[in-house]
Amino acid sequence: MNMQSSEQGSTANEQALAKKLSRTAALNWLAVLAILYTLYFAQTLLLTLIATFLLALLISPLVTLFKRAHVPRLVSALLLVTLLIAPFSFLGVQLAQPVQKWAQLLPQLSKSLNEQLESINSAIQGEETQGTTPPPKEKSRFTFFGWLDDETEEQQETEEENMVTERIKQGSLEVLVSMLAATPLLLAQVFTGLVLILFLLIFGPGLFQAYVNGLNEDSKREQAIHLATTIQVELSRYIGTISLINAALGASTAVVLKLLGVEDALLWGVLAALLNFIPYVGSVIGMAILSLAGVTQYGLEWMALMPPAVYFGLNLIESQFVTPTVLGRNMRLNPLVVVLWLVIWGWLWGAFGVLLAVPLLVCIKLAIGQLGIWPQWIAVIEKEG
């Protein structure tokens, strides 16, 4: 009897433990879904906050350097933010016309490419049937004993071409309207981000110092200061280095394409710099876009391969030699983890989420590394070999 009661007690304990584990697993999945829901529906706010935080981290060491030279934080912050705005404003003015041109041109490219492919296909078929008597042309439509003649078919083809033209114009107008509708929101986000950067640079250190002073133990104060300083230094170093490398890649791409006579070389250089913030996937997108630009300018000729070939060569030098040498092995990331991370943030926040994905991953890696938690995740994130 005692053995039976003990077995029943152990079975009851196992069942209770299993129920507890199942409840914990369910709560964890609900927490994950709640986080994804919040990230997706609060993307407008969170995008601005995260981009502002990363830019403030990038500028903060310079503000601290000016502070040591007895320059007030307000003056140095205003000066550095102005210097940050100036090049982007210049690029915006220079790129306004090319971007507008391509926004109107994109709906027409599919039609022109289809026409060129059809002409090549017709030429190939003509060479195959050369020297043979062509079969009599059959009418593709029911003609009611010839009442619908060739002239009627030509009118129908003309009407179809007019319909295609109207659809292309309508597509261009929709692209223009969507861009104009998104402009006020984008300007509001940019203005809000600039104000937040100023406040973070001016009042952020004082707020953090007040938090540290509120801690009870000296060990916790030292740990908090060490953690914040290490993450700030390492992350600002990473963002600054990657930004300089990408800017150099974009500038070199624009210069080489300009010397080779490619139209809108500045636009492709800026695009190459932005896409290089997206490891692995960005280079593929850049190759596809520059291939489209080459086909648009040169047609289906060998010269159309020149823009993507130039970009591929410069990107290969940067990714295989420059970035590994400058950043070292500590900032290398597992390619599979990076691609999965890009897919997740691209699904959540679109193109801006893809641009911010890798800096966020580096920030998480630095934070959990300094806190000494989840060492298995550090091994997963880091690149092997």
pLDDT in tens, 292-343: 888 888 877 888 889 999 999 999 998 888 888 887 655 667 778 888 888 8
Q: Which residues of 2-19 are buried (b: 16+ CB within 10 A; e: fewer)?
A: eeeeeeeeeeeeeeeeee
As given in the structure block, the two tokens for residue 56 are 């403030």
Q: Is the pLDDT of residue 145 over 50?
A: no
Give pLDDT tens digits for 70-111: 889 889 999 988 888 888 888 888 888 887 777 777 666 666
**What is the pLDDT at residue 160?**
52
Place of tokens 């199942």: 22
Contact 357, 309 (CB under 8 A): no
In a 3-state reduction of DSSP, which class is residue 373? coil
Contact 307, 268 (CB under 8 A): yes
As given in the structure block, the two tokens for residue 301 are 């000729």
**What is the pLDDT at residue 178?**
53
**What is the pLDDT at residue 259?**
93
Residues in CB range of 84: below 8 A, 6 or more apart: 55, 59
Contact 73, 67 (CB under 8 A): yes
Cα–Cα distance for residue pair 304/294, rounded to 1 Å: 4
Give the number of other Cβ atoms within 10 Å of residue 358's Cβ.
21
Q: What is the mean pLDDT of residues 237-257?
A: 90
Please, how many CA atoms are within 13 Å of residue 361, restricted to the half-sphere of its CB?
Answer: 30
Give the number of other Cβ atoms within 10 Å of residue 192's Cβ.
14
The more confidently predicted of residues 33 and 13 is 33
Contact 286, 275 (CB under 8 A): yes
> What is the rounded average pLDDT for all residues in the chain?
77
Cα–Cα distance for residue pair 221/215, rounded to 1 Å: 6
As given in the structure block, the two tokens for residue 356 are 């911010």
| Cα dihedral 304, 306, 311, 312 sign | positive
Cα–Cα distance for residue pair 43/139, rounded to 1 Å: 56
Contact 370, 230 (CB under 8 A): yes
**What is the pLDDT at residue 146?**
46
Cα–Cα distance for residue pair 215/351, rounded to 1 Å: 40
**Which of these ranges, 140-144, 151-155, 161-165, 272-276, has the smallest mean pLDDT?**
140-144
Give pLDDT tens digits for 181-196: 556 777 787 888 888 9
Q: How confident is the model at residue 214 (pLDDT cuts 50, 70, 90)?
A: confident
Please, how many CA atoms are within 13 Å of residue 385, restricted to the half-sphere of its CB?
Answer: 3
Cα–Cα distance for residue pair 152/355, rounded to 1 Å: 54
Cα–Cα distance for residue pair 174/357, rounded to 1 Å: 30
As given in the structure block, the two tokens for residue 51 are 């981009």
Give the number of other Cβ atoms within 10 Å of residue 355's Cβ.
20
Amino acid (1-letter code) at residue 17: L
Give the number of other Cβ atoms within 10 Å of residue 99's Cβ.
14
Cα–Cα distance for residue pair 96/183, rounded to 1 Å: 13
Place of tokens 């009627």: 152
Cα–Cα distance for residue pair 245/228, rounded to 1 Å: 25
Q: 333: which strand partners?
A: 382
Choose among 357, 372, 306: nearest CA to 50: 357
**Which of these ranges, 75-84, 109-118, 161-170, has the smallest mean pLDDT?**
161-170
Amino acid (1-letter code) at residue 354: V
Give pLDDT tens digits for 43-68: 888 888 888 888 888 888 888 889 88
pLDDT over 70, % of the chain = 72
**What is the pLDDT at residue 250?**
93
Give pLDDT tens digits for 333-369: 777 888 888 888 888 888 888 888 888 888 888 777 7
Cα–Cα distance for residue pair 184/206, rounded to 1 Å: 33
